[in-house]
Structure 1
Amino acid sequence: MSTSSVLRALPRAIGRTAGFRAARPSTVLRVSYAPAFSTARVLKADNADGHGHEESFEEFTARYEKEFDTVQDVFELQRNLNNAFAYDLVPSPSVLVAALKAARRVNDYPTAVRVFEGIKAKVENKNQYEQYLEELRPIREELGVELKEDLFPEESK
Structure 2
Amino acid sequence: MLAGSGCTPRTVRFYEREGLLRATRTRGGHRAFSPEELDRLNFIVALREAGWSLEEIAELLAVRGAAASDRDACRQLDHALRTRLGELERKLDVLTRLRSDLEGTREALAVCSECTQASPDRTCCRDCKRLPEPGELPRGFRLIWRGDG
TM-score class normalised by the smaller sequence: under 0.3
Rg (Cα) greater in structure:
1
With structure 1 as the length reference, what TM-score do the two structures score? 0.22
With structure 2 as the length reference, what TM-score do the two structures score? 0.23
Structure with larger RCO (C-alpha < 8 A, sep 6+): 1
Structure 1 or 2: more helix by fraction: 2
